[in-house]
Every structure is written in C-alpha cells, then in structure tokens.
Copies of this chain bind each other. A is one copy, B any other.
Amino acid sequence: MAERIQPADPVTLTAREAARRIGSGALSSRALVEACLERIAREDESLRAWKFVDPEKALAEADERDQRRKRGLPLGSLHGVPVGIKDIIDVQGMPTTNGTAVDEGRRPEADATLVRRLRQAGAVILGKTVTTELAYYQPADTRNPHDPERTPGGSSSGSAAAVAAHMVPLAVGTQTHGSVIRPAAFCGVVGFKPTYGAIPRTGVLRLAPTLDQVGVFARSIEDAALAEVVMGADGSDTDVREYPGPLTGTTLSEPPVAPDLAFTGSPAWDRAEEGTEAAFDELREALGDRIEAMEMPEVFARARGWLDAVMRAEMARNVGHYVDRYPDQMSDKLRELVEEGRGIRAPDYLAARDMSTVLHEGLRPIFHRFDAIVTPAVPGEAPVGLDTTGDPAFCSLWTFCGLPCLSLPLLTGPNGLPLGVQLVGQRGQDARLLRTARWLVRQLTEGEAT
C-alpha cells in the first residue's frame, strides 16, 4: 500500500536517533516534521490513521524547537520529535473527539498531563490519531499498513498504523483490555504498556479506571523506553502510585546474567492460530535452554471473565451517558456493553475486581524464577476485514493484573504479516522488561541463543 521510503528519509529515524540529530544540528525539527507531514499528506487518505493534523501549528512548534537549540538552551529527550496522540487524550487547541461523532465539536482547554510532559521533553504534538468509538470495539476506518483489507487492531488503531507507516516515530495509545499490544502486534511495531498506575490518565477519556492504562507505539525498544518522560504522579490521578522509571539507562544496559524466560501459550492458547503455534515453536527452539515452558493453572483462564465484568460495569458508569443521550448515534456494540454493565450487581463487580489481586499473587512466584514471560500478543496475523479489531484474549490476564507488557514484531505469520511476541514483566519492573527484550532481540538476530 505505502510508497517505498528512501533510506535517507528522516521518517525512517527512530525517535531517539531523531532527537540526537536534532540536538546536534545535523537535522532540524522542521525538516523532520515536514517529512512526516508530507508522508501523511501522501498516504493517509488511504491509511486513515490520523483524525486531526494541524501542519502550520506543528511546523511553528518545530521552528520553536530549532530556535531553542540554536540559543543553546537545555533540550529534553524528545526535543523536536513529532508524536501522535490517540484521540481520547486531550491536546489543548486540537479537537479531541473520542472516536464518536457526538464529540466532534470538543476542543479541550488544557493538555492531558502526559501531553504536557511530552511537550516539556521537547516533543512536537503532530496531531490526533484515530481511535475506535470511545476506545471500545466498534472500529473506525483505519487500515493495516501491511494490507489495507485487514484491521490494524484497536482501539489505538491510528497510533499503531501511523508508527508502522513511518508517519511519526512515536505515538501514544491506551489499553483497557488489549488496545496497545493488539494493534502493535497487527501493525508490526513495538507496543509498550507499562505497569498499571505508572502514567497519569488526567485528561484521558475515563473508561474503566481500574483497567485503563496508557502505552506507547515505537519502532524500537529503546524508543519505547521514552515512555519514562510521561511517568509518575501528577497529583490528580490518584491511581498513579508506581514510578517504574527511569527506563532508558537500564534498557540500554547489559543484563548482569543471561535472562531466564518462561513460555506460556497464555490462558488463551486455544485461540492461537496454527501459524502462531508454529512460529512460537521456532522461537522457542532458537532460544534453547534460556526459555522454559510453563503450565498455567486453570484459574488464570478466568481472568478474561473477571476483566470483562469490571470493564462493563465501569464503562457503563463512565460512558453510559453517551448511550442515554445519543442512543441512535452509538454502535450496537457500545449499547450492549452499557446494558450488560448496568445489569451487573455491585458485590459481583467487587468480587471480580478483587480477583486481580489474587491472580497477581499467583503470578508472583513466576517472577522469582524468570525475568519475563514470553507469550503470543494476538491469536495470529491481523484478521481480514475492517468490521472487527481482533481478539484481545492474549492480553486479558496481564492487563487485569496491571503487569507491564511489550509486543515485539519478531515473528511473521503464514501470509507474511507481522505476528507479535508479547513479553510480560513483574509490576514495577518495566526497565528490566525492556532490558530483557533487547537481549532477546539480540539473541534472535545474532543467533547466540545458548
């Protein structure tokens, strides 16, 4: 679908490399932003990853960044780098439509905390990326950059597609069930959902606060570590208790000893496609005795049901008013969600929510023995059709327990499309997870896995 990119085109740069070159003067922020805007102008009519882009504003911000460098002022780790923001996250002066026509006129007066922090780190907010309706399951019209007939995944569809299509080196998304890991896997980019409570959600559409987690899309693990700039308490989101950063130093370091990995098909293994099983067999073979198969007790398979109960109940509370006010403008999927959520009894909701702690306790011993869990990110390649965003089943347990997760584009499916490998770490050990991921990639590319 996409035009071939010249290797020298700055849109091929990772965020870190772009920031480095802008910092040294080898590249201007304007040149990078112009290149991204050109690519969007050329490709996005068919890809539809962007909901809103303001080229003039972005270029003005880029010029400001270039001026700042020329004046010799201190520069942040994203200085001059354009970033895409999922359209359920408030950006001052840009429309934030939450993926629904009824919010079309909405223009937030303030940046979300994470957007403010991105700006403080020097980023240029390039625009808003397409999301599904209220970040739930009703797809928007974004396509998969690898095959326009296939879904990019959801709900952070535009953020994943835009990074995969080299329209922007870094984009922000959110995950309430599988909305960072799944689209990253389908689009073949790195998706990183940090530990629950690491990134404040102030200024982000509230769906199911017990589950809502912010994440990033990037084209390298090192870039995913830049999520550190948005982490930490902001005094408003009271669920932010962890600060698993800083990440970059550890991510770039060598593991003190070779990591031990646990392989699990995850409680959703019966949903894995044939090609996925085969690809993971090869991966495990390549890793030899550094990876060990792990049986997961039956109870972990129930995470999906508990997560669904919590999500439905909380979303009925938080977005039910959309259905009440605009019944005809909401999808059947959303109306059903709200109806189901309203049928859940409070003690049952509380019982489901409490199981998150129980399951997390059950997972704890794994992380005493292993550095990370290796498991599929998705059942297989991105499914054909734009009427679904695919199955989040491989994310349920980890999201429910708030563990840091990473999707890596390491495998290829039977149709030559990307197949995500998911790495899962212990709560708060995001940096170690990223370091392990870099080690894993090196093992597989350098073939030194024993």
Contacts and interface: CB of A to CB of B under 8 A. Distances in A.
A351 to B, nearest CB: 6
A347 B317 contact: yes
B313 A350 contact: yes
A324 to B, nearest CB: 11
Given A345-B343, A345-B344, A317 B350 contact: yes
A10 interface: no
A313 B347 contact: yes
A69 to B, nearest CB: 40
A337 to B, nearest CB: 11
Contacts of A318: 350
Contact of A346 (B238, B241, B348): B348
Contact of A349 (B241, B320, B349): B349
A320 B351 CA distance: 11
A191 interface: no
A430 to B, nearest CB: 18
Nearest to A351: B317
A314 B349 CA distance: 10
A68 interface: no
B342 A347 contact: yes
Nearest to A208: B350
A342 B316 CA distance: 18
A316 B347 contact: yes
Given A345-B342, A345-B343, A345-B345, A350 B241 contact: no
A5 to B, nearest CB: 47
A404 interface: no
The listed residue with most B CB atoms (<10 A of its CB), out of A341, A346, A349, is A346
A318 B346 CA distance: 11
Contacts of A343: 345
A260 B115 CA distance: 40
Contacts of A238: 241
A348 B354 CA distance: 18
Interface in A262-316: 313-314, 316
A334 to B, nearest CB: 14
Interface in A352-371: 354
A80 to B, nearest CB: 37
Nearest to A354: B317
Contacts of A320: 347
Contacts of A345: 342-346
A241 B237 CA distance: 13
A238 B361 CA distance: 14
Interface in A213-247: 238, 241
A351 B206 CA distance: 13
B351 A346 contact: no
27 contacts: A238-B241, A241-B241, A313-B346, A313-B347, A313-B350, A314-B346, A314-B347, A314-B350, A316-B346, A316-B347, A317-B347, A317-B350, A317-B351, A317-B354, A320-B347, A341-B346, A341-B347, A342-B346, A342-B347, A344-B346, A345-B345, A345-B346, A346-B346, A346-B348, A346-B349, A349-B349, A349-B350
Given A314-B346, A346-B349, A349-B350, 12 more contacts: A238-B241, A313-B347, A317-B347, A317-B350, A317-B351, A318-B350, A342-B345, A344-B345, A344-B346, A344-B347, A345-B345, A346-B346
7 closest residue pairs by CB, A with B: A313-B346, A346-B349, A317-B347, A317-B350, A344-B346, A316-B347, A346-B346
